[in-house]
């Protein structure tokens, strides 16, 4: 029952993502009616100040946002997984110091740090020849956002690796003469694989949130164009979601659908990823992530526990 349910959610989620990515070839629809138009039949999500349909805008922006966030999350994992494994395996002593150093990252807001580092690259003045090209800007943003969380992530993975090295099967593999590299390949990595997927999902969500925050500060993925004369809000180069938020947040009072559309899109994507992670972990381990934290009990033990729990509730009723 649980399996069916999960796969159902999972496939629905995947469909959702596919639809978002493949419908981006819609044309921008210019409406004659006085903009901004509230959501209605012709334009499901309303239009913005200049009359662009929010739905198609959002759909066009989707590819940049989702693919960008995916790339960043993926790169984060690609860098931190090997680093973390090496840390946990070869330098278990130094880990403690490194952990306390990295701890410091927890007391500085990530969005501000990203904002500070990215500002020089992404602000373009209208009419002025940009120092960096579009691809360069996207590349720099991806690299910066990737590097930001690598220390925290690698130490996390390193800690888990170190814990795994204390397990009995690892020490028996050592006794049998397995080298450290062999142990990583055959024992540690498979044991952590599920965990990596969950981490990946969390990183993806976090990237999306940071991007949304940056959008509020007019710092858009792919670059921001500031109009030379004041008045118009800064424009996004690529129409991606964070740009849609930043440019429209002043409309909140009298045309709330303009900023809310991209934000709701962020919310939907994040929810989709969360459900995917939840579904994945239910399928692979029979153990939900977000409902229960990682524990070492097996499935049968869990069932036994549940039965025990019901009993104990019965017992309470009787006693009262």
| Burial degree of 264 (CB within 10 A; 0-12, 13-18, 19+) | middle
Min separation Cβ 259 and other proteins, Å:
7
Q: In whole angstroms, what is the distance from residue 199 CA to residue 221 CA?
A: 23
Report, in Å, the least distance between residue 170 CB and other proteins. 23
Q: Which is nearer to other proteins, 79 or 216 (CB)?
A: 216
Nearer CB in complex with other proteins: 71/99: 99
Q: Which is nearer to other proteins, 29 or 49 (CB)?
A: 49
Q: How far is the CB of 35 from other proteins (least distance, A)?
A: 20
- Specify the residue, 120 or 227, whose C-beta has the smaller distance to other proteins: 120
The dihedral built from the CA positions of residue 104, 105, 111 and 112, taken in this order, carries a sign that is: positive
Q: Which residues contact 283 (CB under 8 A, 6 or more apart)?
A: 3, 6, 7, 10
The distance of closest approach from Cβ of residue 166 to other proteins in the complex, given in angstroms and rounded to an integer, is 16
Least CB distance to other proteins at residue 23 (A): 22
How far is Cα of residue 196 from the mean position of the Cα atoms in its chain?
13
| Residue closer to other proteins, measured from CB, 188 or 245 | 245
Nearest Cα to 22, choosing from 62, 69, 55, 74?
Answer: 62
CB nearer to other proteins: give 34 or 295: 295
| Residue 4 or 108 with smaller CB distance to other proteins | 108
Q: Which is nearer to other proteins, 81 or 260 (by Cβ)?
A: 260
Closest distance of CB 300 from other proteins, Å: 15
- Name the β-bridge partners of 30: 52
Give the 3-state secondary structure of residue 311. helix
Q: What are phi and psi of 52, to 5 degrees?
A: -80, 140
User: Which residues are CB-neighbours of 288 under 8 A, at least 6 positions away?
Assistant: 278, 281, 282
- Tell me if 74 sits within 8 A of 134, measured CB to CB: no
CB atoms within 10 A of CB 105: 14
Which residue, chain included where needed, has tokens 């002025």?
128
User: CB of residue 46 vs other proteins: minimum separation in angstroms?
Assistant: 15
Instruction: Tell me which residues touch other proteins (CB under 8 A).
Output: 100-101, 103-113, 115-117, 119-121, 131, 205, 208-210, 212-213, 216-217, 245, 249, 252-253, 256, 259-260, 263-264, 266-267, 270-271, 273-275, 278, 290-293, 295, 305, 308-310, 312-313, 315-316, 319-320
Give the nearest distance from C-beta 237 to other proteins in angstroms: 19
CA distance 317 to 125: 71
DSSP 194-207: HHHHHHHHHHHHHH
């Amino acid at each position: 029952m649980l399996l069916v349910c999960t796969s159902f959610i999972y496939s629905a989620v995947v469909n959702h993502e596919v639809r978002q990515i493949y419908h981006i070839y819609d044309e921008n629809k210019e409406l004659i009616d006085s903009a901004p138009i509230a959501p209605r039949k012709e334009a499901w999500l309303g239009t913005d100040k200049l009359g662009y349909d929010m739905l198609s805008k959002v759909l066009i922006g989707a590819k940049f946002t989702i693919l960008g966030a995916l790339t960043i999350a993926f790169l984060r994992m690609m860098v931190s997984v090997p680093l973390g494994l090496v840390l946990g395996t070869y330098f278990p002593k130094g880990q403690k110091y490194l952990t306390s150093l990295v701890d410091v990252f927890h007391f500085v807001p990530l969005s501000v740090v990203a904002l500070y580092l990215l500002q020089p690259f992404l602000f373009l003045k209208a009419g002025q020849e940009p120092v960096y090209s579009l691809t360069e800007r996207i590349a720099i943003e991806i690299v910066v956002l990737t590097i930001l969380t690598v220390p925290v992530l690698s130490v996390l993975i390193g800690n888990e690796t170190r814990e795994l090295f204390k397990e009995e099967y690892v020490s028996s593999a050592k006794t049998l003469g397995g080298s450290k590299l062999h142990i990583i390949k055959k024992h540690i990595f498979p044991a952590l694989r599920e965990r990596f997927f969950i981490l990946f999902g969390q990183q993806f969500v976090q990237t999306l949130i940071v991007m949304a925050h940056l959008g509020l500060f007019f710092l858009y993925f792919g670059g921001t164009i500031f109009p030379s004369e004041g008045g118009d809000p800064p424009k996004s180069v690529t129409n991606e979601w964070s740009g849609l938020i930043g440019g429209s947040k002043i409309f909140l009072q009298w045309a709330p659908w303009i900023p809310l559309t991209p934000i709701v899109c962020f919310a939907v994507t994040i929810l989709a990823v969360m459900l995917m992670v939840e579904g994945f972990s239910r399928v692979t381990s029979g153990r939900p992530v977000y409902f229960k934290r990682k524990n070492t009990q097996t499935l049968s033990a869990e069932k036994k526990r549940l039965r025990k729990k019901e009993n104990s509730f019965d017992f309470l009723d009787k006693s009262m």
